[in-house]
Structure 1
Amino acid sequence: MATLILVRHGRSTANTAGVLAGRTPGVHLDERGAAQAAGLPARLAGVPLAAVVSSPLERCRETLQPLLDARPGLTVETDGRIGECDYGDWSGRKLGELADEPLMEVVQQHPSAAAFPGGESMRAMQARAVDAVRDWNARVEQEHGDGAVYAMCSHGDIIKSLVADALGMHLDLFQRIHVEPCSVTAIRYTRTRPFLLRLGDTGDFNSLVPRVSGEEERSEESGRAVVGGGAGAP
């Protein structure tokens, strides 16, 4: 079957502002995010892509544009099923203030029971994304043959939920997974099981360097996952 390359969008203006953008329109890549996107063609230069699929949101389309510019003839198709989680009333709010919401503990510890007010549940988010991947796997294999590779540009929580599905992990464990902006995750699907080949690969190991005293605590050091994926390494 197909090999899927999942690209999280580059760093956005909402990421750096500490805002949970969700499906809010008009959220674009910031300067660093644009630079991350510009580096994507070189990182994938040796990979033949049979298809490219994008979330409808601007930050994903902007992330893919340099790749499309570097490969004339390659087009992108949009699939709303890999669009950002609908955070409902949480959309556009500061992550710092959301940390005190009672629902946040459920999102962190029992996400399969979490449903955002005015939005969708995390179970529904995962189900639609998994359905999209299954459909695209079949389409890509039918049109391009067994072993074809294709790319999807999506969002942190979507990618984490797809990785959890590929690993056979319950959704309640998906907050243990972290993917940085413009990171590449690769999953090879076969008839009997998926294989996770890469996870959150950026080629940059700065986020692994121990903090200097006085630096802001990283989310994973606090034991909490960043809803929406966060801004990545400083």
Structure 2
Amino acid sequence: MTVTFLLVRHAAHDDVGRYLAGRRPGVRLGVEGRAQAARLGARMRRERFGRILASPRERTQETARAVAEAAGIDTVETAAALDEIDFGRWSGHDFETLDEDPDWRRWNEDRGHAATPAGETMEHVRFRIVSVMERLQAEGAAGAVVLVSHADVIKAAVCDVLGLPLDRIDRFDIAPASITTVVAGAWGAKLIGLNEVVA
């Protein structure tokens, strides 16, 4: 069964790029993020998909609901495997503070081997999202499926498809409210579109 995966990064919260939100509760879309989500929903009307799965974080759920409403889909399924990286004690800190932490610097310099304070590695993140995609394919998901997640989680999936080492995730961007398209079949998987940003 061939499945098209539309990997969507959540729209922006008010402080995106200023601090590490991680799995902190209560991080919701800001004014610009809600506008991004509305534009994303309008763009996604052109796609034919029957299911939407989203990370448990509020910002991904809000983005997924905007897409679902635009597409006339009643249910957004929550998938823990699409969750943000578990950054542990780093969550909630601004990047200036984090840059002083040698463990944070190592995480960013050696994503293929380093772990967060919570013990999560990029390999585990890759395993999580790829497992969801493989399960949906095995279930015979028809047509296209939307997966709403986070930048580095989507980057891990792209690295897997392209056969890139995980420490190469800084070679490409995944912007807020962007769409990355992967087609998977019995023959494997290929990247069709990367980081489509809806204007």
TM superposition score category, shorter chain reference? over 0.9
State the 4+ residue runs in structure 1 displaced beyond 2 angstroms. Answer: 70-74, 103-109
Kept after mapping to 1: 8 A contact 2:14/2:30: yes
Compute the TM-score of the two structures, normalised by the length of structure 1.
Answer: 0.80
Partner of 1:188: 183
Q: Given residue 116 of structure 1, which amino acid in structure 2 is its aligned partner? A: T
The number of residues matched between the two structures is: 198
Cα distance per residue 1:190-225 (max 9 Å; x no partner): 222211111111044xxxxxxxxxxxxxxxxxxxxx
Q: What's the offset of the Cα at 1:93?
A: 0.6
Q: Which runs of 5+ in 2 are unaligned?
A: none
Structure number with greater Rg is 1
Q: Given residue 47 of structure 2, which amino acid in structure 1 is its aligned partner? A: V
Cα distance per residue 1:69-88 (max 9 Å; x no partner): 22334421111001000001
- Out of 156, 168, 181, the position equivalent to 1:173 is 168
Aligned pairs for 1:145-224 within 5 A: 148-204=143-199
Measure the CA separation in 1 of the matches of 2:70 and 2:169: 34
Q: Taking every aligned residue pair, what percent have the same amino acid on both sides? A: 33
Partner of 2:49: 49
Partner of 2:8: 7
Compute the TM-score of the two structures, normalised by the length of structure 2.
Answer: 0.93
The structure with the largest strand share of the pair is 2
Partner of 1:101: 101
Q: Tell me whether 67-76 or 45-54 shows the greater mean CA deviation.
A: 67-76
Q: What's the offset of the Cα at 1:175?
A: 2.0
Q: Given residue 6 of structure 1, which amino acid in structure 2 is its aligned partner? A: L
Q: Kindly tell me: are residues 31 and 4 of structure 1, through their superposed partners in 2, closer, same or farther at Cα, counting changes over 3 Å?
A: same
Measure the CA separation in 2 of the matches of 1:23 and 1:158: 13
Secondary structure of the structure 2 residue equivalent to 1:113: coil
> What CA RMSD, in Å, does the superposition of the two structures yield over aligned residues?
1.5
